[in-house]
Chains A and B, each alone.
Chain A
Amino acid sequence: MLEIRNLSIAFKTAAGLKPAVRDVSFTIRPGEILGLVGESGSGKTLTSLGVMGLLPPNAVVTRGEVLVDGVDLIKCTPAELRRLRGGHVAMIFQDPMASLDPIFTCGDQIVEAILLHERIGKAAARRKALALLEKVHIPDPARCMRAFPHELSGGQCQRVMIAMAVSCKPRIIIADEPTTALDVTVQKQVLDLLRGLNAEVGAAILLITHDLGVIYEVADRVAVMYAGELMEEAATPDLFTNPQNDYTKALIDSMPSLGLRQERLPVIERDAAGNVRSVRPQPRTRPAGGDVPVAVDPHPLLELKDLRKSYWVKPTPLAAAVAMHAVDGVSFSIAPRTTLGLVGESGCGKTTLSRAIMRLSNPDSGQILFKGQDIARLSERAMRPFRREIAMVFQNPYGSLNPRQTVADLIGAPLAIFEEGTPAERSKHVLQLLDAVGLPRAAAAKYPHEFSGGQRQRIAVARALALKPSLVICDEAVSALDVSVQAQVLNLLKDLQVEFDLTYLFISHDLSVVEHISDTIAVMQKGRIVEAGPAEAIFAAPQHAYTRLLLDAVPTVGAERARRGRA
């Protein structure tokens, strides 16, 4: 059905063609789901765009064939390609909200897609669109027809995209990270939907993702890409139980997995000869003289008591404003030198809560006890000494570092703000921080754009540590990173916790990451903590229905792996 033979894609640069995809070959049969997995920059998205003939202007196919039912798409004219697109080959994108035109209703956009490939009347197309929306299980399809994309949730938008993709009964559906922007529970629904439609329509699906869990759950076969090359292709169960390729092994190892806690996650290393292997780093020990037994402190470092924060929102222009309880009576405490994992889906109030603790916003009521003192209502001036003690690492390492400052300026900024030491002492301190987060000292003079995502997050961590805080709030700090890079940053955070006596409030939507790093866990839903307790207890026997729902929704890479990991 879809056969890719020796596909090579290169970027046009001033220095000539720079290959990005090399000699990739695979086939997908009707009704099959092939998972294409790899890290960012591995060439998986470029491959899919090459198949659709939608490569960016600076990329070209240098070699190979893309055969759809025997027709080579590479040789098609633009007009022929256009007829195949949407009708024969459909695509679903990563960010559903951004992939819909904001100024047309969802109904109009589906109708438009139908009319592009079918000769039916407008009324018939509308009826068909409505039927499609029912098929993708959207609540209230009639309302959805009239709704604009911004009036729907991300999951609903992705359903609209899927409805549009299957509207003309395509033979092949390419889904590029279709669930990456969605919550776990929504991700599960969307994946179930895709699998169900696949069985019904009989289309072949090329599922591109960086998430091995997603692959494990839905794909029949897996192709692994690394640095533009196809590493391995195998049936899904075989790949996970018996990976042949070194990179595949390393990639599977570096993924934190539910029910399998490890002291440190293995990371992927590449030696001088270019061979890839998985290395499990040893936990860093405290510097010499530092191994004084750490007294167990009975007092929590941070304690929240019935914290509340509401926003006033107007549902319609004329309606009276109603209170939206973003944080609704939250209480928990974190012991010194431990990690509390705060889990919840988007919109549950996690970020509002972290902003309130940082006193970036003022809570309505309740107490924030930090080292026993209530900081909930301190003035900006009285809050200042506490600002040194609480630091934050944000989700997006691309957005949280000022692109016009050098790394030395960025890391040194908190020191300069608190007028810590002389400039010479500060730059020495910056170098020590770079050592601590595992970056070369030469990094100090560089700018953020010269670093990868994982390295940037290390810079952000170094900046957070500059004033020797006792509490570090990590708000989705590893969510934007690839699995292997995520493993490195998680290991780093664990090492630094021991080295600098840190306490973490680790906010994430990813349960396997939270399980890996946390000592205690709090599950948040609609502004409330529905369950809290020791990590192991919660993962072993979740009490609240919502916790169980979250845990069930996480794609897991089977029990075989857990056994292998423990062995």
Chain B
Amino acid sequence: MNATLSGALVLVGRKLLTAFVQLWLVATLIFSVMYIMPGDPVLLLLGAESNPSPEAVAAMRGQLGLDQPVISQYFVWLWNALHLDFGKSLTNGYPVAKYVTSNLPRTLELAFAAIIVAALIGVPLGIAAALKRGSLRDTVLTSIATIGISVPVYILGTLLVLFFSIQLGWLPASGYTDISRNVVEHFRKLALPAFALGFGLAASIARMTRSSMLEILGRDFVRALRAKGMSEHRIIWQHVLRNAAIPIVTIIGLQLGNLMGGTVLVEAMFNWPGLSTLLVSAVSARNYPLVQGSMLAIAALFILINLVVELFYSLLDPRIRRRRS
């Protein structure tokens, strides 16, 4: 027992170390992007059209620390980032960390809501299709799933708004209300963007669930369970689904990770003030510290979610627990 526990700790430690190295590589990439991208932030800040004097430019450079050698800029930036200090917004001098911490939970909330919608729709549909393989039900469900994957989120979002807000008037079309101000209104405004994101994801989860279930249903041990006299219902829920869960959890985890930066369209469409909205406005304003800060936050979340998913595998599959050694 003790050996298993220490083995698990070693595993977690190794994964954390890997995640940390990944994060550092991403941070380095994000930092260098600033020098690769065209345009000088100082000129942009002072307004290139107003033809700023060289003195003003130099003063601004000194103020922002841009007159230092690149390598020392890099280490200062990295050191500050390590302390969650991403600098100040170029436009208003407000700390980037404040922006990120206020927008990040909103994106996280939207992503989790979408993934829950997707799993609640996708997994049962996939199971239903797998159990009646080749039947009309399977064909219909599989076709719906294919359509779900191919409809772009902005079209689905528009349709949802047309139907639920304009036609029926049940839900607000867009906006955001903080949960501390009005709980009901908060979730009413969350519903449409979450569904718009979730439907497309549900389709791929359903397909993965279906094929994974079919693969497990064909295994020898399922036949052995039937020969034991176990009911079909118990075989499916207790044995097949648990065995089929690993690829399903994988795809859910990957999608959740992708959502960290993939909510752009939906956030824009529904006026949801999340990280993606922040990133898009920062990019168009060449607000470099804000770009770097929000990109790093998105990357960190992505890596973190993947880490959690991988650790979750070993709970599901005893073979992975040992094989990783």
Give the B-binding residues of A (Cβ under 8 A): 52, 54, 82-87, 90-91, 93, 95, 98-104, 112-113, 116-117, 148, 150-151, 161, 164, 314, 316-318
Q: Does B59 belong to the interface (CB within 8 Å)?
A: no
The 24 sampled A-B contact pairs (Cβ below 8 Å) are A54-B223, A54-B226, A84-B229, A85-B227, A86-B228, A90-B228, A93-B223, A95-B220, A98-B220, A98-B221, A99-B224, A101-B221, A101-B243, A102-B318, A103-B319, A104-B239, A116-B228, A117-B229, A150-B318, A151-B322, A164-B228, A316-B3, A316-B325, A317-B6
Q: Does B242 belong to the interface (CB within 8 Å)?
A: yes
Q: Does B219 belong to the interface (CB within 8 Å)?
A: yes
Residues of B within 8 A of A148 (CB): 318-319
Instruction: Identify 11 new A-B residue pairs, CB closer than 8 A, beyond the known A85-B227, A85-B228, A150-B322.
Output: A82-B231, A87-B229, A91-B224, A98-B219, A99-B220, A99-B221, A100-B221, A103-B318, A314-B325, A316-B3, A317-B6
Contact pick for B229, options A86, A93, A151, A317, CB 8 Å: A86
Q: Mark B2-21, 1 if CB is under 8 A from A, else 0.
A: 01001100110000000000
Q: Are A86 and B227 in contact (CB under 8 A)?
A: yes
Q: Are B219 and A83 in contact (CB under 8 A)?
A: no
> Knowing A52-B227, A95-B220 touch, does A101 contact B239 (C-beta < 8 A)?
yes
Residues of B within 8 A of A317 (CB): 3, 6-7, 10-11, 324-325
* B1-44 interface with A by 8 A CB criterion: 3, 6-7, 10-11
Residues of A within 8 A of B227 (CB): 52, 54, 85-86, 90-91, 93
Nearest CB to that of B14 among chain A residues?
Answer: A317
Q: Are B223 and A318 in contact (CB under 8 A)?
A: no
* B237-286 interface with A by 8 A CB criterion: 239, 242-243
Nearest CB to that of B325 among chain A residues?
Answer: A317
Q: Does B317 belong to the interface (CB within 8 Å)?
A: yes
Nearest CB to that of B10 among chain A residues?
Answer: A317
Nearest CB to that of A91 among chain B residues?
Answer: B227
Complex Cα gap A234–B290 (Å): 87
Complex Cα gap A282–B89 (Å): 92
> Knowing A85-B229, A86-B228 touch, does A318 contact B220 (C-beta < 8 A)?
no
Q: Are B226 and A102 in contact (CB under 8 A)?
A: no
Residues of A within 8 A of B322 (CB): 150-151
Contact pick for A102, options B10, B225, B319, CB 8 Å: B319
Give the A-binding residues of B (Cβ under 8 A): 3, 6-7, 10-11, 219-221, 223-231, 239, 242-243, 316-319, 322, 324-325
Q: Are B242 and A103 in contact (CB under 8 A)?
A: yes
Complex Cα gap A316–B242 (Å): 26
Complex Cα gap A383–B27 (Å): 47
How far in angstroms is the closest Cβ of chain A from B206?
Answer: 23
Residues of B within 8 A of A104 (CB): 239
> Which 4 pairs from chain A and chain B are nearest by CB?
A86-B229, A317-B325, A85-B229, A317-B7
> Knowing A148-B319, A317-B10, A318-B10 touch, does A101 contact B3 (C-beta < 8 A)?
no
Residues of B within 8 A of A87 (CB): 229
Residues of A within 8 A of B224 (CB): 91, 93, 99-100, 161
Q: Are A113 and B228 in contact (CB under 8 A)?
A: yes
Nearest CB to that of A48 among chain B residues?
Answer: B227
Complex Cα gap A30–B308 (Å): 56
Nearest CB to that of B7 among chain A residues?
Answer: A317
Q: Are B229 and A83 in contact (CB under 8 A)?
A: yes
Nearest CB to that of A313 among chain B residues?
Answer: B325
Complex Cα gap A103–B245 (Å): 11
Residues of B within 8 A of A85 (CB): 226-229
How far in angstroms is the closest Cβ of chain A from B314?
Answer: 11
Complex Cα gap A47–B7 (Å): 47
Complex Cα gap A151–B243 (Å): 17
How far in angstroms is the closest Cβ of chain A from B312?
Answer: 14
Complex Cα gap A148–B319 (Å): 8
Q: Are A102 and B243 in contact (CB under 8 A)?
A: yes
Complex Cα gap A86–B227 (Å): 6
Residues of A within 8 A of B228 (CB): 85-86, 90, 112-113, 116, 164
Q: Are B230 and A116 in contact (CB under 8 A)?
A: yes
Q: Are B3 and A318 in contact (CB under 8 A)?
A: yes
Residues of B within 8 A of A52 (CB): 227
